Amino acid sequence: MFSLTNKKAIVTGGGSGIGKAIAIILAQQGAEVHILELGIGQAEATLAEISNQGGKAFSYACDVSDHQNVKVIFDQIGEINILVNNAGIAHIGKADTTEEADFDRVMRVNVKGVYNCLYAAIPHLRAAGGGVIINMASIASLVGLPDRFAYSTAKGAVKAMTMSVAKDYICENIRCNSISPARVHTPFVDGFLKNNYPDHIAEMFQKLSKTQPIGRMARPEEVGALALYLCSDEASFITGCDYPIDGGFTTLNN
């Protein structure tokens, strides 16, 4: 089950965290994985890990907010079967504390970046006879989170784009779903704690972990396993759905 042999996948933001975990598990299941990352060093680190496990991968430096840059790389890769739109950035702030430049930056990466990859990928999915798109949304698109105005706005747009694409391309054998994680223990979380709570890292880590009713953060590999299922032929009847993976956050936090 869940074999991706002879499948070609693109994973954006595949150099660390959730994207890295997804790239690795897709390769483990037989996919040829193309890793797009803003910094080529991070992409190559994931590539090396995949290669050491006997997988096949390629790395590219790519700014997903740059329409032409994205199109050139996707055209270079050619026909694909899977696109995972994972690249994104975070931002902390309310509506009246988010500066215009910060709002524009989040929209440019988290919204336009997804659009750019959809625009570039769909012709290559069509040429392959169909395929799968996974967009990384967030529980921020489902519930109100404090101090996450721009980020929540962007992830709401990602969820809406997912539904639109699923509707528009269902007759072309292109499935599109989104994944909405709660807090996941990634290098971003460690960096956030180190920069903002250097004297209380352990205490704040526990506090953030307990935000999820299950009592801990998700592991990137757990999100990767869900992405694998949705990319596989075993999920061939699933499109136009959002999957919270949140340790009970959206349903049990009462």
Catalytic site residue from 60, 115, 119, 151: 151
SS3 33: strand
Looking at residue 220, the DSSP 8-state letter turns out to be H
Q: Rounded to the nearest 5 degrees, what angle is found at the Cα of 110, between the Cα atoms of 109 and 112?
A: 65
**What are φ and ψ of residue 117, in 5° steps?**
-75, -35
SS3 99: coil
CB 231 within 8 A of CB 134: yes
- Nearest to residue 85, comparing CAs of 203, 176, 169? 176
| Integer Cα distance of 83 and 79 in angstroms | 11
Structure tokens, 172 = 């072309």
| Integer Cα distance of 41 and 48 in angstroms | 10
Q: Is 151 a catalytic residue?
A: yes
The catalytic residue positions are 151
